[in-house]
Amino acid sequence: MFCSEKKLREVERIVKANDREYNEKFQYADNRIHTSKYNILTFLPINLFEQFQRVANAYFLCLLILQLIPEISSLTWFTTIVPLVLVITMTAVKDATDDYFRHKSDNQVNNRQSEVLINSKLQNEKWMNVKVGDIIKLENNQFVAADLLLLSSSEPHGLCYVETAELDGETNLKVRHALSVTSELGADISRLAGFDGPDTKLMQNSGKTKFKRTSIDRLMNTLVLWIFGFLICLGIILAIGNSIWESQTGDQFRTFLFWNEGEKSSVFSGFLTFWSYIIILNTVVPISLYVSVEVIRLGHSYFINWDRKMYYSRKAIPAEARTTTLNEELGQIEYIFSDKTGTLTENIMTFKRCSINGRIYGEVHDDLDQKTEITQEKEPVDFSVKSQADREFQFFDHNLMESIKMGDPKVHEFLRLLALCHTVMSEENSAGELIYQVQSPDEGALVTAARNFGFIFKSRTPETITIEELGTLATYQLLAFLDFNNTRKRMSVIVRNPEGQIKLYSKGADTILFEKLHPSNEVLLSLTSDHLSEFAGEGLRTLAIAYRDLDDKYFKEWHKMLEDANAATEERDERIAGLYEEIERDLMLLGATAVEDKLQEGVIETVTSLSLANIKIWVLTGDKQETAINIGYACNMLTDDMNDVFVIAGNNAVEVREELRKAKQNLFGQNRNFSNGHVVCEKKQQLELDSIVEETLTGDYALIINGHSLAHALESDVKNDLLELACMCKTVICCRVTPLQKAQVVELVKKYRNAVTLAIGDGANDVSMIKSAHIGIGISGQEGLQAVLASDYSFAQFRYLQRLLLVHGRWSYFRMCKFLCYFFYKNFAFTLVHFWFGFFCGFSAQTVYDQWFITLFNIVYTSLPVLAMGIFDQDVSDQNSMDCPQLYKPGQLNLLFNKRKFFICVLHGIYTSLVLFFIPYGAFYNVAGEDGQHIADYQSFAVTMATSLVIVVSVQIALDTSYWTFINHVFIWGSIAIYFSILFTMHSNGIFGIFPNQFPFVGNARHSLTQKCIWLVILLTTVASVMPVVAFRFLKVDLYPTLSDQIRRWQKAQKKARPPSSRRPRTRRSSSRRSGYAFAHQEGYGELITSGKNMRAKNPPPTSGLEKTHYNSTSWIENLCKKTTDTVSSFSQDKTVKLKHVSICFWGGLRKLPIMAEVKGEQAHHMMKAGVRKREWGRCHTL
């Protein structure tokens, strides 16, 4: 069946652990991953259906059917079927190859091995064979390819640390909790498969693979329809002419042609003639056009694959064109939608600078005490003498080490705070090296910095923190942990040092922490604020650092109130927050830290260059607002020179609508000439709107919106306001967005802006966005292959996007447009000669050329030169394309090939056809050859016109070629030589003797082309055809040169000696006060640490046989089987508990699924709190 009943929405899921027979009754999806489009059975019908969606392919199929009717066909059927089969076959092979690699990639994932509990034994099983309800054993650093429910872990209290790099690009660890009723079952991480294959969150959010076509493809479909209508008009004109001619003149030929009286009426003759001319004139759009387009696109794809400047040597990753049908669309991009983590950044936090007691550390000065840039020649601080130092850490300011050695108490206290106030866990590897496991990469950078400067975090227990201070071990008693959350924007620890003093150490957002300072910090606050502004101006992530000495009595009273608040049943959170506020006051400022969220190499230059190319970049990220804004400043997408930055953070549709309209009023109020209107869809109107805005907007604006507000803004009555405001802004940043919202934003711009969009990302959460955009780019970095598998193009670094668009994309668009303009021109010139000839041959559908010339013209005589131009031509060099991004704008505006350009090509072709027909016709009229013989015969006329046509179109393509290579010379002049070789061969006596019916033009070429007057006619025809073009182009380049004309002229002048191009320097912004606060941290880790649940006890004494089984795999299996049997046996006795919206549900996905779990009633509450792993395609980690 071609259509099936739509799958009902799943509202509950019943699963029995380790019972495949029971679970199979519900026909849950298997775990096989499908990203491919076809299989062996569906390839042929689906691919043919897709190919015949092209109007041209359907058009040629109809022509083929017409050619099989002998009464109307003047050409043999093989002239159409051979090229049609060829282009369909080539396209099918290309599509099959692309899909083969998708199957290959799917198989790599599907065939990954896992350990599944089957028949009470652990057995190796491929991930694609894992079923819903299976119990799986996972080990450290193992990939996971299903949505799983954690049952037990070797970690204390059933904890599991998950890395979701392949899902969202985040390399920091997330904590998941096992079910409390099953957490004691085993030592190895064991999970229950809850959702498999297409039901998993990843696949639900991935969206469908769409059939993508370029705007030129869509335009060509329209043009083919127009041309077909044009052919019908020509056919009607010629058919009417035939009917008139038959009724008035044709009677005189009936006896001569052996027609019987009344056998053929003039009307019926005109009807047949109409179809005959439709067949003859079909070469206006030959099937070879589509063959050539596919070959050119294939060549452009190989250029991308072979580009060494897009090869990432560090990981040996080349750029890859995963599709060959979208290359010219790369030259028309107007909007780029980019992920942040792993795409713009490397997700590597580096401690760069700090401010301690009013002094900046981390800057480098020259001999004149002037601040200089850090270069590779600069020697970093030598940490090799420290045995426990991180070897990858680099710091270039030696002054900090000197301050530490001199015993500066403020510096020591600053580093001590970094070593104590955090949630990092430590362990030693097999080599005895100290390893940090971090939940927050920011904290990892700070603790690592303190470690290298001599304050080494060694270990922790729920009650103590042990650090090594300049070689001396010190254990601090952890009295309280005031955890971070998004409201507090700070975290604090209260410790008792070895001397018995109680201290509160705090770090957090400067905007929050500065309000908590003691009044005596006024001078230091002013200095530190200036330093923070400088750090923020450089795009660094900042935290303020402060401490407070606490009185023992005061602390005891405060701690007693905290215990009472924790035990309270009402307003517990509010009371705790109040107590936190009370003790976090009168702080003493120590300084501030500046951490770099390391951008990928070349990101700033790429963003700047693409902005100059009039490409708008929107960042769609799941990160917090502060982090997203910080990266915006680091990439120069946001600047302090902007007129305004609109932040939309409404909690409901009314608030969001009001904030959007206030922002629009603010923006348009400053530009009063702008008339507020609705967003339009037509390209021309949209371009007019853009030009009006560019002329009237006098400044730069940015829009920042969070995911919660975006959900309301995407509603039907608000999205127009959102889109209008966003498109007026230079930069748009959407933070805390889900994968589905990313796709919705892309679709919104595609639908209402009628703009060509590009989405780029590196994680599985970017797949839906990549599939929704016109062009999808996958970053093949360390975060896996899900984005790459769904993409159209892939490479290793964001900076390669600049070359992909400005060089390969622009060249592909430029070449394709020149190819199409020339192709339509030469075929109109070639075909319309038949139309003029019809008025002189009694509208008899007689072809003016030899049939073999008609067959070979597009396949042999003119195919290679136009392919060479379409593959190799370029107006300016690749370096100039990069240095002058403004060259990209013609593609965005569709200036090189559009309906207007098409009509110009048609008119040019009509003019050439007139010259080709009437100059030889006039020259041949009542003329004799040099030998006195008559040369005005049909065959000599056909040879003269054919020769003139080949020479004219060859000279025309020579004029059109901007970049000459050896291949161009060989193809253009070689094609003319091939024409004459084939011409003399087909007109020879020898081939006529072999095939007398197929080659009737015997001896004509030799007879005609030996006449001087014939060559004079050919010369006159050529000059008359090309001279107007030469004159027009000369005047146009001289009087109205385009930017590419000017650069090409400059290239010629600088060809011998070109100065090296200088890279754009990274500018430092000196600005007004702006917080650079950004901190990647999750709430709850403080409680986790103080509870001790994430800490493994050293040599724990076994209290029962159950604990002894933790390190015995066989006992674990037996215990698990027994526990499972006991649970299953109770199913018939205990009632079924339906758990609504368990954490296994899709959060931020397409739907939210509750699960029906058959468990004992007393276990339902524990199931509700169970941590369920997302579809990460990542790794599990143990500490």
Q: Which positions are catalytic?
A: 339
Take residue 427 and report the two structure tokens written for it. 């362990």
Residue 612, phi then psi, degrees to nearest 5:
-65, -25
Helix/strand/coil for 186:
coil
Give the neighbor-by-neighbor strand order of the sheet with 541-550.
359-361, 345-356, 588-599, 541-550, 502-508, 490-496, 472-482, 464-469, 455-460
- Separation of alpha carbons 400 and 408, rounded Å: 10
Classify 647 as helix, strand or coil: strand
What DSSP state is assigned to residue 502? E
CB atoms within 10 A of CB 786: 27
The per-residue DSSP string of 308-372 comes to: GGG-BTTTTB--EES-SS-GGGGGS--EEEE-SBTTTEEEEEEEEEEEETTEEES-EE-TTS-EE
Neighbour count for residue 743 (Cβ, 10 Å) = 25
DSSP 112-172: -EEEEEETTEEEEEEGGG--TT-EEEE-TT-B--SEEEEEE-SSGGGEEEEE-HHHHS--S
Q: What is the DSSP letter of 854?
A: H
The rounded distance, in Å, linking the Cα atoms of 927 and 1019 is 18
Locus of tokens 């007689």: 846
Angle at 125 between CA 120 and CA 131, to 5 degrees: 80
Decide: 776 and 770 in contact? Cβ < 8 Å: yes
Interatomic CA distance for residues 1034 and 841, integer angstroms: 39
Q: Vertex 716, ends 712 and 719: CA angle to 5°? A: 65
Residues 6+ apart with CB under 8 A from 1148: 205, 707, 738, 739, 740, 741
- Exposed e or buried b per residue across 453-489, where buried means at least 16 C-beta atoms within 10 angstroms of its C-beta: bbbbbbebeeeebbbbbeeeebbbebbbbbbbbeebb
User: Hey, how many other C-beta atoms are within 10 angstroms of the C-beta on 179?
Assistant: 22
Rounded to the nearest angstrom, the gap between the alpha carbon of residue 628 and the centroid of all alpha carbons in its chain is 19
Nearest to 334 by CA among 569, 81, 618: 618
3-state secondary structure (DSSP) of residue 1052: helix
- Residue type at 434 in one-letter notation: L
Sign of CA pseudo-dihedral 206, 212, 215, 221: negative
The span from the CA of 40 to the CA of 55, in Å, is: 26
**CB count in 10 Å sphere of residue 1012:** 9
CB 416 within 8 Å of CB 461:
no
Q: Which uninterrupted H or E stretch holds 591?
A: strand 588-599
Nearest to 189 by CA among 248, 144, 252, 138: 138
Give the list of residues 6+ apart from residue 478 with CB closer than 8 angstroms, or none: 460, 462, 463, 464, 465, 493, 494, 495, 1090
Instruction: Report the alpha-carbon distance of residue 45 to residue 66 in Å, rounded.
Output: 24
Tell me the DSSP string of 72-88. Answer: T-SS-THHHHHHHHHHH
1120 Cα distance to chain centroid? 45
Cα distance between residue 1050 and residue 628, in whole Å: 41
Q: What angle do CA 155, 157, 160 make, to 5 degrees?
A: 45
